[in-house]
Structure 1
């Protein structure tokens, strides 16, 4: 991770808990790679992150707010997964001319399983009822969003397909607020986080006593997202201290069931330990083990899905993130901003990886839409990192670990050369440089790595790295010359 952040990756927090003991809690990198105007920061002006620094969890919000809240409320018999959405919101019903019907039968379980019939998203944040809300309209945005959700047509009949949808969790968050009579952030803070003495986890951190220096930045050149946002008379600014997800930010006032939670890795590791403990932590009991089992067992014909929780499954369906070495009952989730949570009950293992991968330049090209340089680093491709961690616990010998490192370098170089339209980018190239630097460092204790560094393959890789760096340096000088 040190080599990754030394070669341009913004930041990483890594927590590993084994057999109930935290054996790794480290922070690497910087709060932001750019200043408040989106201009690159000089190295001396970058502020290092700490183990307490908060990250935007993106879709990991779903697990550690909505799922935790529902697991508690169901344990208290205040709600059931079989309750119908219409029981909470009577206006949630089909339109007469709806192509797909069945809203009246959609349950909490259907939303958790992403089988309710909703599209992946609906961009409520650009709806005129939100963007052009009149001053005389005293409704909160969430009330308007609920109306919009109720009017959103289904795109398939409930329980006939599975489609991951943010709308499902936006609606679940609203149901929790209806049941508890509290805003989602207030309920989770008072009933989940405070009892566990977790102070580095919240929605809207800038309103909770945190500053931008306590929070990693995400996207560098975000388009102005609301008419009230102060962008200092420029069109773009980095997203820093507020939720990146535009639906959560603009339509849900930063507090939503699908996105908006900020935390450090250590706080989420405590919540993950609650899952391994059967619903409690110390003297605090949040939910029953029977409810936990209900949520984490196979949720439908896709073995990688529980009730919201991602599962490894018997066919290693989530191995790209959890590793091929994770057990079938491993659960967790990922977040778009660059976050991974992994909970393996068989191995009694927790791995939390938080990154700010999106705090890097966006990439352009037909095959790169929505991709950033940070997406191509090893740190963001979780499976390689989790595999290395599993390998260490499974007592793989050093020779095997060294060989894995070599394969990572060779594989990355092959991707750059064989699929240049995708992988020949600044992120991939910097990642390869970081991997080779790690190999050089580890070679001090490894004959295998020393032998590799003397090989033709290594020589070719190092030559290509040097050539690319020379071309980049020349292009930079030419650009500076033209600007004078």
Structure 2
């Protein structure tokens, strides 16, 4: 009798499976030569807790494990007289001991390492700033480290000798501490672990004394650069990103390295002993890498000795040698240039290289010049009778001989005072502001520029009006035209953005390059896709702000920081995006905090030092600066802001909050508490006179007097409308045909640009009308009131002057109707 077809097939399949099972383990063997051991690394830890707690954590319910636990005979919770080794996880299996870390290019270290926990109880106190920070890194804590018991070290040496026999791929440089692989989180096994004693037993790496001495003698007079030290740490095995600055990751890595190899000098600072130790280790264990790094060191020192070539300084909008060397076959275009001027203003400087006779035309009129012009002498000629407002023409008609040359300099326009002439034209503006002052508004200073002239410069009200109880002072301090103000977010434009524009002009920055090109640590979670332009245009996807200065709920607690270096690390590596890149424009302080760090990274200088030295000082602006109270400015020279610090009259509180009247301290909480008063988004102080020069420089096209700050193409790039939002350029806010009329009013040209600041400051620059307006107020220097919906507001914020648009509208009307 035959079986049904379905049953026959089932029996056949079952028989095949039995045959296959029987053949298992009987495959033909052909061993490959391309094979290695799984274990590459040994990581040594201290428990930081006693034996019983360690067992609970590593064996029972802690979620962590290790391959071995080395006991301490002095531990009261351990029932034994001698140190012993307890195996918790077989070496062939994965233990959960390393966590997130990196060593010699490897990640996921639990997969390739053996973990040894040593019972050793350190005691650490954490500073307030890092109370919510993850990890137990020693730089953020005050720690005491007990010595290891001699029996523990004997047990570790015996254990390690066996591990090395069983795992031949473990090299001397792959026997490390937890701090080495996770230097920003961990400090174990601490600076008292006897690495050198292990080395003498044939375990782990150590330097040779002769090589250390040789490098120390070389590095003592000339330390390696920070970037080179970062590269050297990385070459040895540390997961350091080369940024070129002594940032938080670098200090953490130096701490870890010193705890391992320079235990008498654990400071986190780069010094000759630390550098020499690192390079001695590289010479011994990685000679090829050492040769490359030393060649780089030699090149860097040679460049420093030679000195950087000084950039050619352009002394005006025209600073050229005539006849022009680059000549066109179209003869009418040679030896002619345009320059910007205003009617009745301007001068020209001529320096002949050989004695010559010259013929020059300005706006088609032949000038009367000295005859002859003597070689090497500089001649200054007024152009006041020749210039008109707008583009003017220069033409070299002839010189005495074909070989003669002439240096011609025409400076950029400078401001002149015409306030007396225009005194009666702004009555409606004065009426509006004075009425607000009478009704309780604290104070303001207004300056207006038109056609290269200051046509209005007026102070209103008081720089200090209220006491710390919100009561009007019996003798308030009057506002003066030269009073300094906390310009708040105008910092973004007149510090950070000007710095970025200057760097673009100098070819040091490309706005369409990803930010990580300049900040290598700016990677992960989509950061690689963000360009400098994305941050400038406020469409990078960041939220409005991260309140680093106060603890947030849940996972936001890790963003608390009162240290600029730590805040910078959080900004570049941890702050999350709220949405995808280029989804829509969302104004964000985070963008400009990052851009401020970008300026610091490219220039190698702090943002305040760079701006004060390379932007403000050349223009002789001595009252535009960060942290003014630290730089010789008195509180009496500065307008007060909030009456009760950042507390909104006691309605807000957080640890360390200021409650005194703010005067000379930047109001913005992130800038003050988390960035040391210097940030890309806030922190600048200035007065209207200094801002007038900066704004006229922009109207001119990038220069002022004999200082050329940036080129016209860069200015056009930054002030052109963003494709994401016509109301923004790169950083700058734009009038955009009335889109931002609350700020610019209804009459501004479509090319007008400027910004505002939370403390009560507004700027308008309208190149099409040769017009600039700077309105500084201390609107927040008023009592706090409750709103109808239960919120809080400053009394000063309710006035028209605080809203900018009405004042700016009346200024335009005064000028347009004149």
Could you say whether these structures have the same fold, taking a TM-score greater than 0.5 normalized by the shorter chain as the test?
Answer: yes
TM-score (norm 2): 0.45
Q: Compute the displacement of 1:295 (Å).
A: 0.2
Question: Are 2:561 and 2:674, in contact at CA under 8 Å, matched by a contact in 1?
Answer: no
Question: Helix, strand or coil for the counterpart of 1:42?
Answer: strand
* Equivalent residue, structure 1, for 2:583: 160
The verdict on how the C-alpha distance between 1:388 and 1:368 changes in structure 2, with shifts beyond 3 A counting, is farther
Q: Which has the higher helix share?
A: 1
* Equivalent residue, structure 1, for 2:502: 72
Q: In the TM superposition, what are the counterparts of 1:418-437 in structure 2 within 5 Å?
A: none
* Equivalent residue, structure 1, for 2:451: 19
- Deviation string 1:107-141 (CA, Å, 9 cap, x unpaired) is 111110011111111111225668677xxxxxx52
* Equivalent residue, structure 2, for 1:48: 478
CA distance in 2 between partners of 1:328 and 1:104 (Å): 34
Question: Are 1:57 and 1:339, in contact at CA under 8 Å, matched by a contact in 2?
Answer: yes
Q: Compute the displacement of 1:149 (Å).
A: 4.3
CA distance in 1 between partners of 2:763 and 2:566 (Å): 31
CA distance in 2 between partners of 1:261 and 1:175 (Å): 17
* Equivalent residue, structure 2, for 1:218: 641
2:753 to 331, 334, 347: 331
Q: Compute the displacement of 1:83 (Å).
A: 2.2
Question: Helix, strand or coil for the counterpart of 1:74?
Answer: helix
* Equivalent residue, structure 1, for 2:709: 286
- Deviation string 1:363-414 (CA, Å, 9 cap, x unpaired) is 2124473521111112112111111111111117xxxxxxxxxxxxxxxxxx
* Equivalent residue, structure 1, for 2:772: 350
Is 1:109 aligned to residue 526 of structure 2? no
CA distance in 2 between partners of 1:228 and 1:221 (Å): 13
Q: In the TM superposition, what are the counterparts of 1:180-191 in structure 2 within 5 Å?
A: 180-191=603-614
Aligned pair count?
376
CA distance in 1 between partners of 2:503 and 2:654 (Å): 35
* Equivalent residue, structure 1, for 2:720: 297
CA distance in 2 between partners of 1:26 and 1:50 (Å): 8
CA distance in 1 between partners of 2:570 and 2:471 (Å): 42
* Equivalent residue, structure 2, for 1:311: 734
* Equivalent residue, structure 2, for 1:244: 667
* Equivalent residue, structure 1, for 2:165: none
Q: Compute the displacement of 1:227 (Å).
A: 5.6
The verdict on how the C-alpha distance between 1:394 and 1:154 changes in structure 2, with shifts beyond 3 A counting, is same
CA distance in 1 between partners of 2:541 and 2:792 (Å): 25
Question: Are 2:548 and 2:560, in contact at CA under 8 Å, matched by a contact in 1?
Answer: no
The verdict on how the C-alpha distance between 1:330 and 1:38 changes in structure 2, with shifts beyond 3 A counting, is same
The verdict on how the C-alpha distance between 1:46 and 1:66 changes in structure 2, with shifts beyond 3 A counting, is same
Q: If you compute each CA radius of gyration, which structure gives the higher value, 1 or 2?
A: 2
* Equivalent residue, structure 2, for 1:118: 542
Question: Are 1:115 and 1:158, in contact at CA under 8 Å, matched by a contact in 2?
Answer: yes
* Equivalent residue, structure 1, for 2:488: 58
Higher relative contact order, chain-length normalized (CA < 8 Å, sep 6+): 1
Q: In the TM superposition, what are the counterparts of 1:400-419 in structure 2 within 5 Å?
A: none
Q: Compute the displacement of 1:157 (Å).
A: 1.1
Q: In the TM superposition, what are the counterparts of 1:74-93 in structure 2 within 5 Å?
A: 74-93=504-523
Question: Are 1:38 and 1:238, in contact at CA under 8 Å, matched by a contact in 2?
Answer: no
- Deviation string 1:217-267 (CA, Å, 9 cap, x unpaired) is 1111234688667x6xxxx32222101100001011110000010111111
- Deviation string 1:263-309 (CA, Å, 9 cap, x unpaired) is 11111111111110110001100000000000001112421110010
CA distance in 2 between partners of 1:261 and 1:47 (Å): 22
Q: Which has the higher strand share?
A: 2
Q: Compute the displacement of 1:39 (Å).
A: 4.6
Question: For structure 1, which segment, 348-357 or 1-10, has the greater mean C-alpha deviation from structure 2 after superposition?
Answer: 1-10
* Equivalent residue, structure 2, for 1:204: 627
Question: Helix, strand or coil for the counterpart of 1:258?
Answer: coil
- Deviation string 1:189-225 (CA, Å, 9 cap, x unpaired) is 0000000001111101111111111111111123468
CA distance in 2 between partners of 1:110 and 1:23 (Å): 38
* Equivalent residue, structure 1, for 2:689: 266
CA distance in 2 between partners of 1:107 and 1:268 (Å): 29
Question: Helix, strand or coil for the counterpart of 2:466?
Answer: coil
Question: Helix, strand or coil for the counterpart of 2:533?
Answer: helix
Q: Compute the displacement of 1:42 (Å).
A: 3.0
* Equivalent residue, structure 2, for 1:371: 793
Is 1:172 aligned to residue 595 of structure 2? yes
**What is the RMSD of the two structures over their aligned residues, measured on CA atoms?**
1.9
Unaligned runs of 5+ in 1: 96-101, 134-139, 397-484
Question: Are 2:720 and 2:729, in contact at CA under 8 Å, matched by a contact in 1?
Answer: yes
* Equivalent residue, structure 1, for 2:296: none
Question: Are 1:337 and 1:358, in contact at CA under 8 Å, matched by a contact in 2?
Answer: yes
The verdict on how the C-alpha distance between 1:344 and 1:323 changes in structure 2, with shifts beyond 3 A counting, is same
Question: Are 1:130 and 1:141, in contact at CA under 8 Å, matched by a contact in 2?
Answer: no
The verdict on how the C-alpha distance between 1:14 and 1:152 changes in structure 2, with shifts beyond 3 A counting, is same
CA distance in 1 between partners of 2:582 and 2:559 (Å): 31
The verdict on how the C-alpha distance between 1:368 and 1:347 changes in structure 2, with shifts beyond 3 A counting, is farther
Question: Helix, strand or coil for the counterpart of 1:51?
Answer: coil
The verdict on how the C-alpha distance between 1:298 and 1:62 changes in structure 2, with shifts beyond 3 A counting, is same
